[in-house]
Structure 1
Amino acid sequence: MSDWTQKLKVQHLRLLVCIGEQGNLSKVAEIMNITQPALSKWLSSLEEDIGLVLFERHSKGLRPSEGGRLMLEHARRLLNDLERSREDIEQFKLGAQGSLLIGCSPVATDCVSLALLSLIKDYPNVHVQVVENVMTPLLQSLISGKVDVVVGRVGGKALQLPLNYRVLYTEPVCFVGRCNHPLATRDKISWQDLLEYRWIVWPTGTPIRVSIDNALVDQGVMLPENYLESSSMSVTVNMVQASDIVSILSWRLAQRYVEKGQLAMLPLPRIEQKGSVGVFWRKDNAPSDALLRFLAHLTSTSAEPESANNHHARQ
């Protein structure tokens, strides 16, 4: 069998991705400015060279086969790597010392910020971009090569992905409210006290939501009927600060808002279900010097602070 990879060009990768997105050869031919017969002939020839059916035909068009999904994953990664190469070269010509694209979930912004401050001391001209999102899309961006590293909650299906990972720290979760919330002045509160207020929580399936759901099961209570879901830290904090709504945050994140006088940590006993924050990076790429240094700084700056140890000891 001939080496089909020798025949592939960048335009072919774009054609594959477009077919995967559109699922219709007529639309792809129009978008990519190619005749449909030529496109169909090229796809059939590629499938024959590879020895796999990449797209299955059905009444509404085309859908990727299992092998096609794998091929699309590699095609997207190659295109992203090429685009990244172009950007890196342009930045290098402007004097940058490499680049680093970081995916960060809201719970990890503190340790990412500290690690970045240390990194730019080592590499003053490194080009850094930080993208904040929840973990599922961030990990998909990592697999496809859109980002170099992701820092956030470790849990669920994340550990089943073909990625390197390292746990940075483990911590409990806690309830927060506005600084003058009626519950904030009490020495002790109960779950029933919390249920009298509306909650805003992370979406179903996110690691921190899993922690609180498990805690509720342990306590034999349920979420309030009128709870809200938000994956936006800004929206959650703004709503909590402007009302009697309560929310659930990781201990470190809550402590950061408390220290700034922006939120109050409510005196419910520590929730035993703990969450781990970790860092993920790709197995199939040798880490750059900037990434290796960033990983080292993440590890050194993520040791549990003394205030957290004291807090745990008091519970």
Structure 2
Amino acid sequence: MIAALPSIVSRLRLKQLRLLIALDEQGSLHRAAEQVFISQPGATKSLHEIENTFGAELFTRNSQGLVPNDLGRCVIRYARLIHSDLAHLREEMVGILQGQGGRLSVGTIMGAVPMLMRALGRLRRKQPELSVEIVEDTSARLLGLVEQGRLDLAICRTSVSQRPDAYDALTLHPEQLTIVAHPDHPAGRAGMLSLADLSIYRWVVYPANMPMRLLLEREFSQCALEFPRYPVETASTFTMLSLLQEDPELVAVMPLAVAEFSEKFGIIRRLPLKLQSRSEPYGAVARRGSRLSAAALLLLEELQTEQLSA
């Protein structure tokens, strides 16, 4: 039976987490002990203490050494996260002392990437030694990272959460969508298109229940058209662009800002079809009541500038 949290917190030590990471990297107690500068008997004792702390065996012993089991892989994954968080903590403290603003972790959905890049570009010119981590993902996953404290801010939509009131929406930005395809797509030569004209082609679409997927489904429904069969589903910008490059007959819906950026480089072309539905705005989101870091406040100012210039 897994030990209770208070017991784990009171007994687990950081140097034990370093040993777990070393064991995963080395696969040998002897080599792991050398990596963390302790004796092999000391490493054996420490591993025994770790397993007693959690109340479970974390490794399988065999002739080749130690192999983490499912529980062990889980503990090692969190050991790495804790080690990484401590490194980020020190980095941010050094940055604050040196007046550099420290470290910033920000998440973004695909449609907000161009806006975020502009805001970060201005911020990094003001704070050239600021360390920045950018995570691109779906709104649901970004909100989870905000909730866990992994992100200072996320530019996404809170409506996808079952607890939208758990977050503060600090800015609000409209999003326009457009239909795109390969530059040589057959429909690209048309003067004006209807959704019926494009329903004969295969589509790249966002996964079910994502806002842009729901909008596209609504467009087809309003035109009394069947939603495309056998679509390719992805939430990845790069995957979507790669698919459109690979197959000149695919069609996709994409945020206008991303489409305009990609079209500059001849990767895609926008098709002459105006969507009737309006996309839900997105915003800069933080945990409700949380205190933003100095770097996050500076980024928020730049995002608000983007909002005013939109």
Determine if contact 2:111/2:175 at 8 Å carries over to the other structure.
no
The yes-or-no answer on 1:170 pairing with 2:174 is yes
Q: Which amino acid aligns with 2:207?
A: P
> Structure 1 residues 10, 119: CA separation in 2 closer, same or farther (over 3 Å shift)?
farther
Structure 2 partner of 1:208: 212
Structure 1 partner of 2:187: 183
Determine if contact 2:124/2:130 at 8 Å carries over to the other structure.
yes
Distance in 1 of aligned mates of 2:98 and 2:115:
29
Number of matched pairs: 259
The yes-or-no answer on 1:290 pairing with 2:295 is yes
Structure 2 partner of 1:268: 273
Q: Identify the range of structure 1 (78-87 vs 207-216) with the bigger mean alpha-carbon deviation.
A: 78-87
SS in 2 for 1:272: coil
> Structure 1 residues 301, 10: CA separation in 2 closer, same or farther (over 3 Å shift)?
farther
Distance in 2 of aligned mates of 1:278 and 1:241:
30
> Structure 1 residues 9, 147: CA separation in 2 closer, same or farther (over 3 Å shift)?
farther
> Structure 1 residues 148, 206: CA separation in 2 closer, same or farther (over 3 Å shift)?
same
Distance in 2 of aligned mates of 1:280 and 1:35:
38
Distance in 2 of aligned mates of 1:38 and 1:256:
53
> Structure 1 residues 144, 32: CA separation in 2 closer, same or farther (over 3 Å shift)?
farther
> Structure 1 residues 143, 269: CA separation in 2 closer, same or farther (over 3 Å shift)?
same
Which residue among 224, 232, 241 is the counterpart of 1:220? 224
SS in 2 for 1:171: coil
Structure 2 partner of 1:34: 49
Distance in 1 of aligned mates of 2:96 and 2:140:
31
Which residue among 252, 260, 271 is the counterpart of 1:255? 260
Distance in 2 of aligned mates of 1:303 and 1:139:
25
Any unmatched runs of 5+ in structure 1?
16-29, 41-76, 306-315
Determine if contact 1:176/1:264 at 8 Å carries over to the other structure.
yes
Determine if contact 1:107/1:153 at 8 Å carries over to the other structure.
no
Q: When you count strand as a share of all residues, which structure comes out higher?
A: 1
Shift of 1:177: 0.7
Structure 2 partner of 1:11: 12
Any unmatched runs of 5+ in structure 2?
18-44, 56-80
User: Identical aligned pairs, as a percentage?
Assistant: 22
The yes-or-no answer on 1:245 pairing with 2:215 is no
